[in-house]
Structure 1
Amino acid sequence: MEQELLLELKQNDRNAQRKVYERMAGKLYSVCRRYLKNDEDIEEVLADTFYKIFTKINQLHQPDIFEAWARKITVNECLQKLRATKKLHISLEENHVSFTDTTIENVSFEKDILSLLNFLPEGCRAIFNLFAIEGYPHKEIAVMLSISEGTSKSQLNFARKKLQELLVNQNI
């Protein structure tokens, strides 16, 4: 994001807000889509995200990390929405399932895998997104979701197993 645009954003310039929205809405929508299924929830979270971006922009002291900062706000808003609607249920049905990471790495259609995330339970999907896509370590995920680190690890394994089954069933 250009420094000048961020300065205008810090001055509550509506034109700058519109430009930032136009540039970031698609990217942040994709982040929301990985966590939430319902379009109304996604739009609500996206609106809350941009409200926070625009009202908290003065807290951003490193303009070169704007996109990462905006993504983090989006992830936090998605998790907050899941908690508020009690959809962030962590299932402990299956623990410690082995999975080879090469299965997903060999798939050339990232879009297909991301669409398969919709078939995972909310809690598993959130943990998979936080770990595999956003890059958070299990310790941070545990704190963010108020679960144990072991639960985070087992849910990641559960999500990987389910994704592997879906990949086989879909012949991807």
Structure 2
Amino acid sequence: MDKELLLQCKINDRNAQRKVYEKMAGKLYAVCKRYLKNDEDIEEVLADSFYKIFTKFNQLQNHDIFESWAKKITVNECLQKLRSMKALNVSLDEEFLESADSPTDSISFEKDILKLLNFLPEGCRAIFNLFAIEGYPHKEIAAMLSISEGTSKSQLNFARKKLQELLVNQNI
């Protein structure tokens, strides 16, 4: 990201903020999509993320890490949204287990993982994203979600097994 553009954001230059939004919206939307299913929730979290990014911009000391800082804010906003929806229940739900065995969507290879992640329960999907995609260790995931490390590990294991089953069932 252009340092001059980021410096302009720091002084609340609306044109600079618009340019940063245009450059980052797609990437941050993709982050939201990995955690949330509903487009309205995704749009809400994306807007909240950009609000927080621009209002907390002065806290960013090193502009070289802007993109990862913005991504972390977005992940935290997604997790907060999941908590507010009370969907971050990491126990397995029987309705999911029944429906996950026969997904009805036709899945193309390029969209497999994202689509398949939608068949995981919210808590499992969040843990899978945090560990496998974002790269957080189980200890940090446990702290972020107020669960034990063992729960994080078992939910990740469940997510992996379920994703493998879904891949086999779809002949991917």
Alignment of 1:43-82 (within 5 A): 43-82=43-82
Distance (Å, rounded) in 1 between the aligned partners of 2:8 and 2:17: 8
Equivalent residue number for residue 35 of structure 1:
35
Equivalent residue number for residue 163 of structure 1:
163
Q: CA deviation at 1:27?
A: 0.4
Equivalent residue number for residue 123 of structure 1:
123
Once superposed, what is the RMSD of the aligned Cα atoms? 1.3
Distance (Å, rounded) in 2 between the aligned partners of 1:111 and 1:18: 29
2:91 alignment partner, SS class: coil
Equivalent residue number for residue 151 of structure 1:
151
Residue 14 in structure 1 maps to residue 14 in structure 2: yes
1:119 alignment partner, SS class: coil
Distance (Å, rounded) in 1 between the aligned partners of 2:92 and 2:15: 48
Q: Structure 1: where are the runs of 5+ without partners?
A: 94-108
Distance (Å, rounded) in 2 between the aligned partners of 1:42 and 1:113: 18
2:56 alignment partner, SS class: helix
Q: Structure 2: where are the runs of 5+ without partners?
A: 94-108
1:59-109 per-residue CA deviation (whole Å, 9 max, x = no partner) reads: 11111110000000000000000001101110157xxxxxxxxxxxxxxx4
Distance (Å, rounded) in 2 between the aligned partners of 1:53 and 1:139: 26
Residue 111 in structure 1 maps to residue 136 in structure 2: no
Cα distance change on mapping 1:38 and 1:81 into 2, 3 Å:
same
The TM-score normalised by the length of structure 2 is 0.89
Distance (Å, rounded) in 2 between the aligned partners of 1:127 and 1:159: 8
Q: CA deviation at 1:110?
A: 5.3
Equivalent residue number for residue 88 of structure 1:
88
The answer (yes or no) to whether the contact 2:92–2:121 under 8 Å persists in 1 is no
Equivalent residue number for residue 142 of structure 1:
142
Q: Which amino acid aligns with 2:88?
A: L
The TM-score normalised by the length of structure 1 is 0.89
Distance (Å, rounded) in 2 between the aligned partners of 1:116 and 1:10: 39
The list of structure 1 runs, each at least 4 consecutive aligned residues, that deviate by more than 4 angstroms after superposition, is none
Distance (Å, rounded) in 2 between the aligned partners of 1:69 and 1:33: 18
Distance (Å, rounded) in 2 between the aligned partners of 1:123 and 1:53: 25
Equivalent residue number for residue 100 of structure 2:
none
Q: CA deviation at 1:111?
A: 2.9
| Count of paired positions | 158
1:130 alignment partner, SS class: helix
Q: Which has the higher contact order (CA 8 A, sep 6+)?
A: 1
